[in-house]
Amino acid sequence: MRNEELAAAQAYVRLLEATRAALSDPGDGPLYLPLLTSPMEEADGALRRAGLSGNETRFFELVSSLQPSLTGSGH
């Protein structure tokens, strides 16, 4: 895994974790959604730099190698 690919996969994992935290309380979710702007921008930029925009298959292979539980392949 190249450094750019690793950075993209890590940025996605951070975005996923931030999203889960923001939406964990349905009543407060809308208040926290604006806080996701920065992690979304980070993930988008990392995907572009790694050349993974539009290559979801490769991207999710990288993510699953970092966090198998996110894809259901490593419980």
**pLDDT computed for residue 22 by the predictor:** 84
12, part of any domain: yes
Is residue 38 a part of any domain in this protein?
yes
Supply the range of the domain harboring residue 35. 3-67
Q: What is the pLDDT of residues 21-35, one digit of tens each?
A: 888 887 887 888 888
| Interacting residues of 9 by C-beta distance below 8 A, sequence separation 6+ | 1, 59, 62, 63, 65, 66
* Dihedral over alpha carbons 74, 53, 13, 69 (to 10 degrees): -10
Say how far apart CA 67 and CA 33 lie, in whole Å.
Answer: 24
pLDDT in tens, 54-71: 888 888 888 888 877 655
What is the full DSSP assignment across 9-28?
HHHHHHHHHHHHHHHSSTTT
Domain count across the chain: 1
**Is 30 within the bounds of a domain?**
yes
In a domain, 61, yes or no: yes
Give percent above pLDDT 70 in the chain: 91
Is 75 a domain residue? Answer: no
